[in-house]
Amino acid sequence: MRRMGLFILMLLILCSSLTACMYISNSDSSDDADTDLQVFTADVIEVEDGLLITPDKDSAEALSSDKIRVAAGEAEIIDDKGNTIKIDDLKPGDRIRISYDGLIAESYPAQITADKIELTERNK
């Protein structure tokens, strides 16, 4: 009976050790997944202290909020010809494509930090 208890204890220790090793291995490889950017299309509402935008209704971001404040900080901002522009070159009504890390601050308006902003269509 004692041997059976000792065997079960050793088996539990072995299983928990293997589980810990698998967890560490999986968490190391998830660093690559963290670099994946989310991309969505939106309309510019205003350009002041970053951008205030409204995401397309069919985007996942629209489920968070109908308006999103976009911090552009270090973001690459390009026009529809691929030229680098400043955030002040964007105007209300412009269509843009935003790439970001997927994190959305659930405030109102919601908030994200853009990695890249691409002008896709100018407001006519």
When computed from its CA atoms, the radius of gyration of the chain, rounded to whole angstroms, is 23
pLDDT digits (tens, 9 = 90+) for 32-55: 444 689 999 999 999 988 899 999
- Model confidence at 14, pLDDT cuts 50, 70, 90, reads low
- Residue 49 is predicted with a pLDDT of 82
User: What is the percentage of the chain residues whose pLDDT exceeds 90?
Assistant: 61
10 Å Cβ neighbour count for 99? 16
- CA distances to 30, 42, 45, 61 from 66, in Å: 31, 10, 11, 8
